Structure 1
Amino acid sequence: MSPLSKGRVLVVDDDVDLAQLLERYLLRADLDITVRHDGNAAVDAVNDFKPDVMVLDLGLPGIDGIEVCRQVRSFSNCHVLMLTARDDEVDKIVGLSVGADDYVTKPFSPREVVARVQAMLRRAQTQPAPGPTNPPSSDKSLTVGDLKVDLATRDVLLREEIVLLTRTEFELLALLATHPHQVISRRQMVESVWATAWTGDPHLVDVHIGRIRKKLGDDASSPRFIRTVRGVGYRMGDG
């Protein structure tokens, strides 16, 4: 997204009144908004509209929000803010595990949603999408064993093979890699990566770390890269 362009936001909710309310608040924030009310239309809209952020309700007709997120993650790296109908741990874990970046639990303040979306857009503006774009920049590359994290190109290579991470996954991995052997608490991770206050919910960090480990083939019980510090957070390396 160009720093001079409007952020593109796709709102997906089958509650028409709620979707229109969010649309009004997001329009006031000078954002480019598209609204859809079912899962299949949402997937098509991501293809056509190419949003920077998708605000996605989990309970949708057609295909539900979980399946929408799973399908979207196969071709788009847009940020996904999911809306859960209740304070349900299963909803949060499943949504995050298929590639959502953050969540808000209903009932919520529309201003909170706008604030979360704007934080995601700031991240999208300042940091290009990860992926096989340019050769690694040696002066900005971090190496942990056979893992390389390039901060300039936002590429991650494991044994010289590209590992595709979402924006949030890359930012978490880069945070750990730039502080080798240092314990980073969950609170520090949330405040650094999500630019929001820590709510005390470990799922937001833990599920993303689990996804990173899976993509790196890193066994949590015998890790090569990311180690768990129980009750605190995570660290990179052995020291």
Structure 2
Amino acid sequence: MQVLIVDGDLDAASSLAQTLQRNGYNTTEAATGSRALEIYGEADLILLDLELPDIDGLEVCRIIRSACDTAVIAFAQGRSELDRVLGLQAGADDCLDKPYGARELLARIEAVTRRVGFGDSDTKSRKGTRRRSVSLGPLRIDGVAREVRLNGELIEMTRKEFDLLHHLASRPGKIATREELMAEVWGVRSSHGMDARASRTIDTHVSALRGKLGSTGWIVAIRGVGFRFGHG
């Protein structure tokens, strides 16, 4: 699991990263809200300090939640109960007071990821049907193990990258609109059309997938409409 740590206190972020790494997590760090908003799409879980040097953490949380359903655990230090409530209302899945114990944090991470469906339950779609595996030429997408292999080589992917690739590959030849991808992969539905930030989120993930698969041919852009799966 890829965890993004968003904290302006570099020492605290480094210490937290070491703790998580010892417990089997991969970590990335962002010292500002603006940096977090650039890279949050690669994370499976976001640990967000509400006290940031540039952007209020509540606003960062709201922006992330408006674009995707990635799990967020917020941290409040010396803030009132109202601030913690506002954190939850902004979209955080949980909110802890600082300082906190490592064991409590790890337990909260397990509880949140279990609740949002990361792990074994991720082998099911939002409708509860089991994800099927897809094989197309040298590419195999294992919907149960959530693994992608190209020419037999395992390709590391984030949760959202896998979900996006699986969604497209499960419908070869069918064009998926941006609105469809945002709704089915990120769980965000809007009656007001696609905003620029959501569109950039999709483009970022498509670009990352093309890079990892080594070809733009696997995901074909249909100008003004969306994307379809290709043949590498």
Same fold by TM (over 0.5)?
yes
- 1:234: which partner in 2? 227
Give the letter aligned to residue 80 of structure 1. I
SS in structure 2 of the partner of residue 196 of structure 1:
coil
- 1:124: which partner in 2? 118
The CA deviation at 1:59 is: 1.6
Question: Gaps spanning 5+ residues in structure 1: where?
Answer: 2-8, 15-37, 87-94, 96-100, 104-108, 129-138
The CA deviation at 1:12 is: 3.5
CA 1:119/1:191 → structure 2, altered by over 3 Å: closer, same or farther?
Answer: farther
1:124-174 CA deviation, whole Å, 9 max, x = no partner? Answer: 15227xxxxxxxxxx942122211101011110101100000111001001
Instruction: Work out the percentage of aligned pairs sharing the same amino acid.
Output: 26
Give, in whole Å, the separation in 2 of the partners of 1:190 and 1:230.
17
Structural RMSD (CA): 4.4
CA 1:171/1:40 → structure 2, altered by over 3 Å: closer, same or farther?
Answer: farther
The CA deviation at 1:44 is: 3.1
1:213 to 194, 210, 213: 210
Give the letter aligned to residue 160 of structure 1. G
- With normalisation by structure 2, the TM-score equals 0.56
- With normalisation by structure 1, the TM-score equals 0.54
SS in structure 2 of the partner of residue 204 of structure 1:
helix
Give, in whole Å, the separation in 2 of the partners of 1:169 and 1:122.
17
Q: Would the aligned equivalents of 1:56 and 1:80 in 2 still touch at CA under 8 Å?
A: no
- 2:46: which partner in 1? 80
- Which has the higher mean CA deviation after the structures are superposed, 113-122 or 160-169? 113-122
SS in structure 1 of the partner of residue 185 of structure 2:
helix
SS in structure 2 of the partner of residue 127 of structure 1:
helix
Give, in whole Å, the separation in 2 of the partners of 1:175 and 1:167.
12
Aligned length: 167
- 2:12: which partner in 1? 41
**Counterpart check, 1:146 vs 2:143:** no
- 2:76: which partner in 1? none
